[in-house]
Every structure is written in C-alpha cells, then in structure tokens.
Structure 1
Amino acid sequence: MPRQETLGQRIRRIRQQRGMSLAKVSGGDFSRAFLNQVELGRSQPSTRVLRVIAGRLGTEVDYLLEGRLPSLDRELALERARVLLARGQARRALAALDDAMGAADWPMSTDARLCQAEVLRALGRSAEADEIVSAERKVIAARGDAHRLERLRAVERGQAFSVGRGDPEAAIRAHLRLADRAMRAARGYDALEHYRAARVLLEASAR
C-alpha cells in the first residue's frame, strides 16, 4: 500500500511543479530554512503561514492539509451569485453567496466579499457595502493586485465591473494578458478565471 503524502511532501511537490525556489515561496514572511524544515516534516507551520504558502503556490490550505482537490462548491456559489446579480436578482444573489462566504484563502475570500458588497449596494445597503470595501481595500493593497483593485473601485462607484470597457476584443486580450501574468506568478486560481473568461468571449464572438 503506497504511503500517504505528508503536508511537507505535498508542499515540496507543488513548489517544485511550479518551478519555485524556497526563497520565492517564503518571501519575507518566514525563512527558507523554516520552509525546508516544514517540507522535511520537522516543523509545523501555523495557520497564518499555511495561508501564505498556499497563496504563493496558487492552491488552498485545505488541499495542503488533506491532499484533496480544492472544492468547487465555493467557486460555483460565487459564480452563481454573480450571474444572478447581473440579471438583476440581488436578493437571490445574496442567498447564493452563503456557500462562498466561508472562504478563508486568498483570493477567493476577497472575490466573495467584493461580490457581497456589490449585492448589498444593489439592495440599497450601502453602509454595509462600504465597510466591506474599506476592509478589502487593505487586503488588496497588501497583495498589490491591480485587477481586483479595479473591481473594488467599480463596486465603490456602484458600477458593473467590465474588463475591456465593453469591447469584446479588448476584453479577450486583457483576460489573456492577465492569465499569462497570473501563470508567471504561480497564481493558478487567477489564471484559470481569466482563461475561462477569454474562452467564453472567444466562443461568443465565433457565433
């Protein structure tokens, strides 16, 4: 019977698959030596450190801990809420968000919170939306994520967020550019989101 992969082995495998060094993953948050000890099973990372590692590796804490593929439930809930909101069904969108709001990992947590702010603003609950936007601005600024900062600004203005400013060809190019950038930064979640968006736009324009 094959031995079960440990947390440290899983981190090392993903890191090597991404072509990332110990220094790249540790950044300025903890030492390379500590990460090496974690990979060897000699040190146990805190929840905060695990979140940092998962974020840098473009995966989720649950996957690092348990070896299960990240659940699609939260992503599905978020996308359903976005669709409902776009169709003017804000109350249903708010209910649909329930399953997405449990996300603790970047960037899913911020994406869900920004969608929640959009929904609340659509329902006339601007004060609640403003509180969320204020909190998420700090998170996004700390990450230096220009794409999500643009989404946040759109929420602040009460406008629907649009990549490419309504031009499908510009949107396709922008999504592909953002996807490539995310791939280089080992942010798999973001890359997948942008590649999906580009594919949908390409398929729609081909009809």
Structure 2
Amino acid sequence: MPSQGTIGDRVRGLRLNRRMSQAQLAGPDLSDSYVSLIESGKRTPTPVVARLLAERLGCTTEFLLHGIEPRQRIDTELGLRHAELELRHGDPALAADRFTEIVKAADEENAMLTAQARFGRARSLEAQGRLGQAVEAFERLRREAAAHPERLADLPLTIALSRCYQRAGDRLRARDLAATALAQASRLAIMQGELAVDLAAALIETHDGDSTAINYVHQVLDLSGTPEVVDRSGEIHALWQASIAAAAGEDSALAVRLADDAITAGRANRLGRQLALTSMRWAKLDSAPAEEAERRAQVATGVFAALPGARAEHGESLIAHALVRLRGGDLAKAGEFATAALESLDGSALVAEAHLVLARVALALGAGAEAHLTAIGEHLTAMGRPVFGSDRAVARAWRELGDLYGQTGSRELQTSAYRRALEAAGVRSAMAGVTAGARTSNEG
C-alpha cells in the first residue's frame, strides 16, 4: 500500500490501484467533486467519511488517516515510551539512539510521531551535555512548530532552549527565551503542571531581578505546594521490564499500558525534584523574605536528602540554607550548613560557594578567613577555563572572592580575583590594563 504524502495522496493512490473512478469511490453517499477536493488536499474527511472511504478502498481507517496500520502505530508508540523511559531512568545515549531509530523508521506522513521522536532525541542530547547539538535540534523543531502547530507545541521547546542556552553560557539568549515562554504561559494562565514547573525552573536561573519572572516563580511554588518525593525506582524498573516482556509476547497494547504506568510512576519525583531545585534557588535571592526563604531552603534540603543520586543538589541546598541563615545573622548555623555542604560536594563551583560562606562567617566573627580564601582560589583555579566560553557561577565566585580579599586589605589578590572573574565571564579583552604580575596566592 502506498503510504507517502497526504491523506489525499493515499486516497488517490489506492483508488488508482483499484482502477476506480472518483464517481465510483464516491458512490451514493458522496459527490465525486468532494472526493476530488479530498484528493487535492482542499478538504479533510470527517471520521465518518474516512471510515466509508477506507471500506471502499480496502484499507483501514488508521492507514488512510495516518499512513500506517494499527500494529505499526502501536509499535511506534511503544518505541517512543521505551525510549522515554531510557531517557528518564536509564542511559540518555541509548535513548538518543532509540529515538533516532524511530525517526528513521517513521514515514514522512506520520509527522506527529516523528516530531515526538525528534523532541525526545533533542532532550537526550541535552541530558548527555551535548548542548550544541541539542540547541540545533531544538531550534529546528521550534521552526517546525511555528509552521506546523498541529504537530508540535512551541512552549516546551522554548523552555528547553532557554535551559540549554543558560547551561551553555549564553545568558542573554536564555533570558529572552524564558521571557517569551513566560508571556505565552501567562496568556494561557498556565500556573500548574509540568510546563509551569519547568518554566519556573528556567526563570529562576535567568530572571536578572525581573519582578514579573520572580512573581511567576513564586506563584508556581505556592500553587504546587510542598514537593514530596519517594524512591519508586524499583517499581518503575519492574513495570518497564514487564512492558518489554509483554511486547516480546506480542501483547503490544498491554506493553504500552505498562510503559505508561512506569512513566507516570516517575513523574511525581521529577516534578518534586524540579520544585525543590526552584525552591532552593528562590531561597537564595536577596529579596526573598526571611521566614519563607528559611522554609523553602529547609524543604529543599529534606527533598534532596531523601533522593538517591542527589548528592550535589543536597550540597547546594545546604549552601542555600547557610546563605539564608547568614542573611539573618545566625553565623553559627550558617557555618554548620556550609561545613555540611562540603561533605556532599565534588569538584563543582559549589565547593567554592561553601567556602565563601565560611569565609564570610569567619570575617564576621573576626576569625582568620585566610584558609578559606586560599581554598576558594585553589579550587576555582583547578577547575580551569569554562567549557562553553563563560561560566557565570565561577565568575561570580571569583568576584565575591575579590570582594572578600578587599575586606582583608589584600589589594593584589583582590585585583587578580577580579581579573579571573572577567575571564570566567568570557571578557578577556577588558583585562589589557591589568598587570600580569597580579596573582592569587595559589599561583605562586
């Protein structure tokens, strides 16, 4: 059976294969002119007409409308779900391969399924840290969404692009995309659910003090309530394996149902994790009210302490808690949280952030902060140059280190730290007037 082209192409191809005229296909129920309009793409048959035409053409309604037989479609749907499970709970690289296979196997006419697979592949690339390729894929999909809104929704793509550009260091582009997504979400009154939570997570990273963005984040957090997470990994993988077994036994419908159950089982934790991240970063805002910031930081710390594989996020939440206590003047607790954070962190810029809190505490107490200041410089230097040309977190840490050196009267070290802050931000040409002799204590 021909499956290329539009519905009209399939109707015409099948009709010609059966040596039928348009009048014969129309029969007593339709006019031949209406059949002609369908074949030319000027009319889309209603479900009733589609069933009637399918009967006369000797094919299934599914094939006439979508270009594939029911079994093909359900197998493709199942492939999409298994690839999604691989992305969320398995290997993103393998997920990308599976989504790619679906794209290659799907006919051009099955645009919606193909678009879903391409979107999955783009998210798989993002999950692997292949941001350049992910951005290219998301940008292509966004152009397609503009041309064919019936195939793809623009809002999830815009949010994903904002997230990718933010991670890649292009903060201006990330902020513009987040603002575009916010305008669309506000117009549609999207304040709850996955899209709202994902948008809030993007906005808290790019807001730059914009009160509209911060207010939206605050509303989403309030409406979503306290995030709760439970380790359901065993249940998810059991359902996933059962779906694979059902597919092997030719029970595709059951396999799809089991895969859907597995995806649903993981949804609450994904949303809880996003909400906890957003709550934590909201609590770090200088403008956040003290009591609410304390509550949100405490909630985030509890969530990440309970989540397996969330060691880094737990460390960051402890830093957020430390910063909240530091702003409130509780130096002892700020020091305790920052010290605990160091036990949860690896080689990220967050280690420097924890030491920055401890250095501020030491300076406020009049104790020696030199050891912490040295540790910050050593850690940031060991991280090397940013992967994507600029790193805002590293740049901020160097700048804050410079501020602290200024408080201790170490002017050369302060100048050197500011220079490194500009380099981390990708502003190298601005350093022409800074002497090369200015060094941090660990540069020797």
Which TM-score tier does this pair reach, normalised by the shorter chain? 0.3 to 0.5
- Structure showing greater relative contact order (alpha-carbon pairs closer than 8 Å, 6 or more residues apart): 1
Specify the structure having the higher radius of gyration (Cα).
2
TM-score (norm 2): 0.25
TM-score (norm 1): 0.48
